[in-house]
Amino acid sequence: MPRSLGLALYLAVNSRLSGWAERKIAERLAAGKEDPDRYRERLGETDRPRPDGPLIWIHAASVGEALSVQELIRRLREERPEATILLTTGTRTSADLLASRLPQGALHQFAPVDSKPAVTGFLDHWRPDLAIWIESELWPRMIHDTAARGIPMLLMNARMSPDSYKRWRWMRGTVRALLGRFNRILAQDDQTLRFLSRLGAPTDRTRAIGSLKEGAQVLPYSETLYKDFLEEADGRPIWLASSTHPGEEVMVSAAHRVLVRKTHRLLMVLVPRHPERGPEIAAALRDEGWDVAVRSEGEGVDLDTQIYLADTLGELGLWYRIAPVSFIGGSLTEVGGHNPFEPAALGSAIVHGPHVFNFVDIYTRLAEAGACRVVHNSESLASTLDDLLAPNKAASMAHAAWEVSSRGAQVTDIAVSEVLTQLDDAEEAGRAAGRMPG
């Protein structure tokens, strides 16, 4: 197993900072960032008993990562119904969303902070048979201590942007030591594979298979809410601005102003990436003179509504089904873009900005298939939307996007196979050592 002076130093200092974790969680609790009923989970404590049988631990940072593994979890439960899936995340938002999404036999806990007491308490209690990290949430103490117990580990859906690689290469020795502790590393794309190789990931344990988000189940929705909204909209043309970030609301608003001069009844549904920004966004839009209805306040659409602010969580499946064209945010500002397979799987044509480095491989394939269009500012967004909102104009794009997204099932197949192989090997080793029944 690779050694690293940097990792050894981190672990040594980390061992002496046991009080830091409690102070940090107390600060977050006071700021409303931790669940007051469950914050002890962040310190490695829980009242929930460990279920009998094999336990597969999947660690995902937040909402996006947690949603990307829902189909993987469903398939693993289908293949190994005796196994429990423990999914950990670090945010209250993800916990709220997962409460209604996890299947029977899967449960959620908040991830322990990266301190020795918290990680030890977590591992002592849950005793996972297999651990899976999603994307790039690599906490040194958690990885080191899990590997030290002989628990097989997979890094799955690994993704690394050029900027992340530039930062990580300054810690090459530490990163190499962490990556070397994984039994298998499954990367989203060839670029990530190259970056991981340069950072010292063992090439014989690393492969690119695509993104789990390609094989994810389509987003759910309420048929009743779908019909209710279309009835309220009364046949009005609609476009969607999805997962927007600060700075983008100004641009989509400017584009919408150009569009409504030509199509007076046009309605924009605006879904901010972070719903808690709803009040500030609504105030800013109203200052610009827009008639805004806010979903979180129970407001509906009427004939005067120009922008519908859907500042709620977990309803993108509804809006992608309603809107024939969707602008995917995080791409006109340098956030890196968001998952285009969600609208692609639901028949919405895709428009995005130039900054999609988080999903460069996926957007490239969509572009090659004629399934998306790139815009660079509010002017090009307006002209592109004007073109696509013409009758039936977006249909061919939406179909091409659906065809690309439908090929993603094989990614989940590979991931499930890798997990089951590692779990079988772990169980065989346990039986050989007398830890498990034959």
Active-site residue among 22, 34, 41, 65? 65
Residue 418 is a catalytic residue: no
Nearest to 345 by CA among 364, 360, 326, 358: 326
Catalytic residue numbers read: 65
